[in-house]
DNA sequence: AACCTTAGCAACCGCAAACGG
DNA sequence: CCCGTTTGCGGTTGCTAAGGT
């Protein structure tokens, strides 16, 4: 058929799309992704929008290499929890499950190759091998959850010393504070303890550049917002008050 | 310089859980 | 309680840049 119906876009996001998404999320908050997908004018699914936001555009995200501390934490938490990426990600502020998953895959691929090449167990040269954090050596991986389930001593709480007791989840308040004050580096307040030295050493937290570009004229105006929101039946108690 | 391989990353898909009417 | 919708998660795929031959 020749009907030129616009299909849902897939594939890599363009800068313009990012911009549109950021503006829309800024207006309506991080929820109702189908709605956001609609009103943003993006020809994307809500799912795709959410993913892009969570993995790339979220202002609290860290970018760049994993710090040694993060690497170690991933290894240890994975030894403990397996492929529970989102759970692991919650222990690594600013990192996404996708990022950790990707990291693990490439990292483990390397490790597997290394292992193949030198089968002798004692010849592991790296300072931290997968073995070193196997369940046999639970060491410091027990967190709050484990204290509940296993009555462990919760060494991770010592790692996370200085952090809020419950690190699960990224407080919306903070996100919106960051939005309000884009110059304020995002994230560190999660683990402002000494281990956070890595965060500052391993590379600064780079606030998503999109926020710099999100200028009012490219966004919906408040009037538009209200119109659109009422059209779709949203807008009450959704997102921040601007 | 051209080609091939590999690592790293972004994005999609399917499924399940959570939520709301 | 049921059912439709939304959200979150984990697995997988595809693209691209970098490195090697």
- Higher pLDDT: A208 or A104? It is A104
- Please measure the distance between the N-terminal and C-terminal CA atoms of chain A and give it in whole angstroms: 46
Higher pLDDT, A221 or A127: A221
Q: What share of chain A in percent tops pLDDT 90?
A: 7
Q: What is the pLDDT of residues A133-171, one digit of tens each?
A: 343 333 444 444 444 344 333 333 333 333 333 333 333
Paired tokens of A234: 């949203």
Those residues whose C-beta lies under 8 Å from the C-beta of residue A232, and which sit 6 or more positions away, are A35, A38, A39
User: Is residue A90 pLDDT above 70, yes or no?
Assistant: yes
Which ranges of chain A does DSSP label H, i.e. alpha helix? 15-28, 33-39, 46-52, 68-81, 85-90, 97-117, 144-150, 155-159, 172-180, 197-201, 210-213, 222-232
Determine the pLDDT at residue A48.
92
pLDDT exceeds 60 at position A120:
no
CA of A53 to C1' of B12 (A): 15
Rounded Cα distance between A221 and A216, Å, is 7
What is the band of A30 on the pLDDT scale with cuts at 50, 70, 90?
A: confident
pLDDT value of position A114: 66
Which residues 47-86 on A are within 7 A of strand B at the CB atom? 47-48, 51-52, 55-56, 65
A103 touches strand B (CB under 7 A): yes
Report chain A's mean pLDDT, rounded to a whole number: 61
pLDDT of residue A113: 65
Domain boundaries, chain A: 15-58+210-232, 68-116+130-201
For the segment A134-144, what is each residue's pLDDT rounded down to a tens digit? 433 334 444 44
Give the tokens for residue A85: 């990426």
Does the nearest atom of strand B lie within 7 Å of A111's Cβ?
no
A112-125 mean pLDDT:
53
Q: How far is the CA of A134 from the C1' of C10 (A)?
A: 21
A182-223: per-residue pLDDT in tens? 333 333 333 333 333 334 333 334 445 455 555 444 444 444
List all nucleotides in chain C with at least one atom under 7 A from a protein Cβ. Answer: 5-13
Q: How far apart are CA A87 and CA A102, in angstroms?
A: 15
Task: Name the nucleotide nearest A85; use CA and C1'.
Answer: C10
pLDDT computed for residue A76 by the predictor: 87
pLDDT at A49: 92
Q: Is the pLDDT of residue A64 over 50?
A: yes
Through-space separation of residue A38 CA and nucleotide C19 C1' in angstroms: 43
Name the closest nucleotide to A35, judged by C1' and CA: C6
């Amino acid at each position: 058929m020749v009907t030129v119906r616009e299909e849902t876009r897939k594939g890599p996001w363009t800068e313009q799309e990012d911009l549109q998404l950021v503006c829309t999320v800024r207006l309506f908050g991080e929820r109702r992704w189908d709605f956001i997908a609609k009103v943003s004018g993006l020809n994307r699914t809500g799912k795709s929008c959410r993913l892009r936001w969570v993995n790339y555009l979220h202002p609290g995200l860290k970018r760049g290499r994993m710090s040694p501390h993060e690497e170690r934490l991933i290894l240890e938490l994975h030894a403990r929890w397996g492929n529970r990426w989102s759970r692991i990600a919650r222990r690594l502020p600013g990192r996404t499950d996708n990022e950790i998953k990707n990291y693990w895959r490439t990292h483990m691929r390397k490790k597997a190759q290394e292992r193949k090449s030198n089968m002798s167990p004692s010849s592991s040269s790296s300072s931290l091998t997968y073995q070193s954090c196997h369940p046999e050596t639970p060491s410091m991986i027990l967190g709050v959850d484990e204290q509940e389930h296993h009555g462990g001593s919760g060494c991770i709480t010592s790692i996370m010393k200085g952090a809020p007791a419950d690190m699960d989840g990224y407080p919306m308040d903070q996100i919106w504070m960051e939005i309000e004050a884009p110059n304020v580096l995002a994230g560190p307040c999660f683990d402002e303890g000494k281990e956070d030295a890595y965060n500052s050493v391993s590379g600064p937290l780079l606030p998503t550049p999109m926020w710099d570009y999100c200028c009012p004229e490219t966004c919906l105006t408040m009037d538009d917002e209200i119109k659109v929101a009422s059209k779709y039946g949203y807008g009450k108690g959704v997102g921040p008050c601007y």
